[in-house]
Amino acid sequence: MIDKEALYSTISENIKISVTPLFVAEKSRPEQNFYLFKYRVIVTNKGNEKVQLLSRCWKIRNGNQKEELVRGPGVVGKTPVLAPNESFSYESFCPLSTPTGNMRGYFEFMILRNQTKFQANIPLFFLRLDN
């Protein structure tokens, strides 16, 4: 899907999250106010402990500043376990009613050794026709 370097990246709580969005012109219908974006997320455990991704929380805002909150278990039906320096990547989609928008949020993780839960921030990233 996307073979260039991630456009957006951040590290929090020893978790690196990188995101690369892309406009999907062939599946979009601008005349019907339907714009489809896909994005690739790479999650890398930069810490010394084995962790498991438990859930996600996305704040999605369209070009009219309408915001939607999306929460759920795991990502794309998975709750991956990441050893130190291990990565997991996935692709997903975001339909918008405007040609621009943005997404941000966090993933909830658990340190497997002691069952401690924590949140790792997902960087704010922009959905645009020219991504």
- For 8-127, CATH gives 2.60.40.1470
> Of the candidates 82, 94, 67, 93, which has an alpha carbon nearest to the alpha carbon of residue 120?
82
User: Greatest CA span in the chain, whole angstroms?
Assistant: 52
| In the chain, where the domains are located | 8-127
13-64 per-position pLDDT tens digit: 999 999 999 999 999 999 999 999 999 999 999 999 999 999 999 999 999 9
CB count within 10 Å of CB 14 equals 17
65-86 per-position pLDDT tens digit: 999 999 999 999 999 999 999 9
The predicted pLDDT at position 45 comes to 98
How long a stretch of residues is the chain?
131
At 69, the amino acid letter reads L
CA distance 63 to 61: 7
Q: Is residue 1 very low, low, confident or very high in pLDDT (cuts 50, 70, 90)?
A: very low
